[in-house]
Every structure is written in C-alpha cells, then in structure tokens.
Amino acid sequence: MVAMTDGIILIDKPAGMTSFGVVARVRRVLSKQAGKKVKVGHCGTLDPFATGLLILCVGKECKNAGAYMKHDKLYEATFRLGQESTTGDPEGEVTDISDKIPTREEVEQILEQFSGEIQQRPPIFSALKIDGVRAYKLARDGKEVEIPLRTVTIHSLALIDYNYPELKIRTHVSSGTYIRSLGVDIGKALGTGAYCTQLRRMSVAQWGVDDAQTLVDFGIDS
C-alpha cells in the first residue's frame, strides 16, 4: 500500500469500536508507512455500537473536516419497541415500558410524522459539548445535562421491516440528526418506548459504504 499523507480514507467501522479507536489505528499504519507522524481525524463520529461509513481525513485534508460533517447522511437502523435505554442504544440501562403491539399500519402512520423539518433533542450521552465539556462525561458523572432542541431535516424515512418488537428503517437525514433520538421519539409517538439496537451509516453525500475498506483490508487486526 502506498503511504498516504493527504486526502480522505473511507472505512467501514466495525461494531464495538469508537471512532477515535479507528483513527488511532489508521494513524499508526500511515505513520509507519510514511516514516513520520501523519495527522488523521474523522469527519463525523459513529457510536461504538454502530457500524458503517466513517470518513477519515489525512494530513492537509484535516482542515476540511468540518465541511464533510455538514453533508447529509443515509442510515439503516433497527429499533426495539416496548423498552427504553438510558443512552438510547444497547449500552445503556434498559427498562420495560409497554407491552402494546402496534399494527404495521400504525407504525407507518407514525413514521409519516417524522418527515421534513422536525425538532429533536440530542441524547445526553453524546459528544456534544456543554460549556466545553462533552455531554456524555457530565452524564456519566451524574450531573444534570440540559441539551436544547434543534431543528433537523428528515429527507426520507422508509420502513424496511417490522416484526414486533423489531422495527427497521432506512432514513436520509441532514447533518446533526441523531438516529438514537429519532428512535426514542418514534417510540414515544407509538406509546411503546423504543431504543436503537443496530445502526449502520450507509453513505455521506456521494461517498458510500460499499466503497469503503474494512480495517482488515487496511492491514489492521481489529
């Protein structure tokens, strides 16, 4: 593999690894190939449980990381109805909420409500900064975290499969949209509660996960 010192790399992030963990591993490989320390960053984090497209910027391209983050994104997500998680994902404390079983028609009607511009509150367990401190750090310390509502755009939201309690969707969203929060809000609208059990980023603008390398392809034993 030719050493890269500037540009972008598309990685299909595996589950169970942080985005920063991917960055660190790729940085070590590139720095070893180049014989010098190579600067590497990511252009929009993925939660540890999530998989899919992670765009890494290398060298001089790191100055453009913010521009990549502003692009729309396409996700596939699975939500589990009837329960809620303190983090909105499998890593939190899960609580039973309801044994209500919505019909497919009810699910489709609710999903239609989440189209266009919507108000969304990001999860308290997120990388957003509050007074310079990551929200998840405050939440883990048991401190009260107040994150204001934000306007995001759901360009499309399609039901892929529904077999209670699992609900799978594909959604094209604007930058800044939290799929975990979307799942929580859908669960509330259904009256069942919900949390995200699987999340995969399929694309960012014109870059797709089908064009991405795995860490193994990149020469990294994950």
Which residues have a Cβ under 8 Å from the Cβ of 205 and sit 6 or more positions away?
A: 68, 71, 72
Q: What is the DSSP letter of 108?
A: H
Helix (H) or strand (E) run with residue 182 in it:
helix 179-190
Determine contact, residues 146/133, Cβ cutoff 8 Å. Answer: no
- Set 12, 47, 89, 185: catalytic member: 47
Based on the residue annotation, tell me whether 47 is a catalytic residue of this protein: yes
Query: What SS3 class is residue 184?
Result: helix
CA distance linking residue 179 with residue 171, whole number of Å = 9
Helix (H) or strand (E) run with residue 31 in it:
helix 19-34
Structure tokens at 133: 């401190």
Catalytic residues, by residue number, are 47
